[in-house]
């Protein structure tokens, strides 16, 4: 557990994302939930020993940020309106209860008994939603919840001015491989500018250690490198299958290793990034062409 502000903490050592919380004078506000059921349950019991958990704010719909919500069944979940719409689709893509049970038998036997446990629902989607922004005042703290699409469409940052902290979810991967498998890269770059404009000293990324604003430039460069790499093929009319026939020089686009127990996705991720960016760059080019005609 890492302290990142006078009353805020993040956990960077779990399998999954960096779940975080702020301790207010009126209970806890969480940002994302621990992915592994046993981590989620321990976390909830430890917090509730001291004070109630008022809200759980999700930053994005990927399973490593939302699947643990189920272990906070009485907590109000907050999310961007598109996140509410796609919540169960993403959760199911993360695996059925049977899939999860099998997976945990291999990777996390302590969690097996909690999969499908009768005390917990299979899903706990947001019930409090917003479109662009939402401000929650809890105790003496302000939570500015901001729609910052990029890494995913419902992507959300949580800025807490009293702590000088912004929680960005996966719009920031600090010194670990960036996942661009479904992003809109141009929205992502705009989101990084918006994050840079906040009066925050500390950035809590979705993955990797907390960092400062200086890293945002590096994050933008990684997104730009990938776009530039795929753009050169789009211009020559070369499709994703052909690009992927040759080894992709991944470290030239993104120098960082794949993060927190995600090694099994290393090969697959490159293909997903190339396919996503190729589709988006081609569509943008065609739109621009249609605009000129």
> Does the footprint of Zn ion cover residue 32 (CB under 5 A)?
no
Minimum CB separation from Zn ion for residue 65, in Å? 6
Residues 170-189 that bind Zn ion (CB under 5 A): 170
Choose between 124 and 155: whose C-beta lies nearer to Zn ion.
155
Q: Which stretch binds Zn ion (CB under 5 A): 17-25, 112-120, 127-135, 213-221?
A: 17-25
What's the token pair of residue 137? 């005042």
Choose between 223 and 234: whose C-beta lies nearer to Zn ion.
223
The b-or-e profile of 146-170 (16+ CB within 10 A means b, else e) is bbbbbbbbbbbbbbbebbbbbbbbb
If one counts every other C-beta atom within 10 angstroms of the C-beta of residue 2, the result is 14
Choose between 33 and 124: whose C-beta lies nearer to Zn ion.
33
The distance in angstroms from the start CA to the end CA of the chain is 57
Q: Which stretch binds Zn ion (CB under 5 A): 18-26, 166-174, 271-279, 281-289?
A: 166-174
Residues 47-106 that bind Zn ion (CB under 5 A): 62, 64
DSSP 212-230: -THHHHHHHHHHHHHHHHH
Pairwise CA distance, residues 18 & 9, whole Å:
10
The correct pick among 4, 17, 75, 158 for binding Zn ion (CB under 5 A) is 17
> Does the footprint of Zn ion cover residue 206 (CB under 5 A)?
yes
Q: Which residues contact 264 (CB under 8 A, 6 or more apart)?
A: none
Report how many residues bind Zn ion under the rule CB under 5 A. 5
The alpha carbon of 60 is separated from its chain's Cα centroid by a whole number of angstroms, namely 5
Minimum CB separation from Zn ion for residue 260, in Å? 9
At 248 the three-state DSSP class reads coil
Residues that bind Zn ion (CB under 5 A): 17, 62, 64, 170, 206
């Amino acid at each position: 557990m890492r302290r990142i502000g006078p009353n805020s903490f993040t956990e960077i050592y779990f399998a999954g994302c960096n779940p975080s919380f702020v301790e207010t004078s009126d209970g806890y506000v969480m940002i994302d939930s621990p992915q592994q059921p046993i981590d989620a349950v321990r976390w909830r019991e430890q917090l509730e020993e001291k004070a109630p958990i008022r809200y759980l704010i999700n930053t994005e719909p990927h399973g490593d940020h939302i699947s643990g919500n189920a272990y906070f069944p009485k907590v109000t979940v907050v999310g961007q309106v598109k996140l509410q719409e796609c919540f169960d689709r993403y959760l199911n893509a993360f695996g059925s209860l049977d899939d999860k049970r099998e997976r945990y038998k291999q990777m996390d036997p302590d969690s097996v008994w909690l999969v499908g446990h009768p005390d917990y629902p299979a899903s706990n989607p947001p019930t409090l939603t917003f479109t662009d922004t939402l401000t929650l005042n809890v105790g003496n703290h302000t939570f500015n919840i901001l729609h910052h699409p990029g890494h995913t469409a419902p992507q959300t940052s949580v800025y807490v001015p009293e702590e000088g902290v912004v929680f960005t979810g996966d719009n920031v991967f600090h010194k670990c491989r960036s996942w661009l498998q479904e992003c809109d890269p141009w929205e992502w770059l705009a989101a990084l500018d918006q994050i840079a404009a906040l009066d925050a000293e500390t950035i809590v990324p979705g993955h990797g250690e907390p960092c400062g604003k200086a890293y945002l430039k590096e994050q933008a460069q990684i997104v730009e490198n990938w776009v530039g790499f795929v753009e050169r093929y789009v211009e020559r009319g070369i499709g994703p299958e052909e690009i992927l026939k040759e080894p992709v020089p991944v470290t030239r686009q993104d120098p960082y290793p794949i993060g927190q127990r995600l090694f099994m996705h290393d090969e697959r991720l490159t293909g997903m990034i190339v396919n996503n960016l190729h589709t988006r760059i081609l569509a943008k080019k065609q739109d621009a062409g249609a605009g000129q005609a």
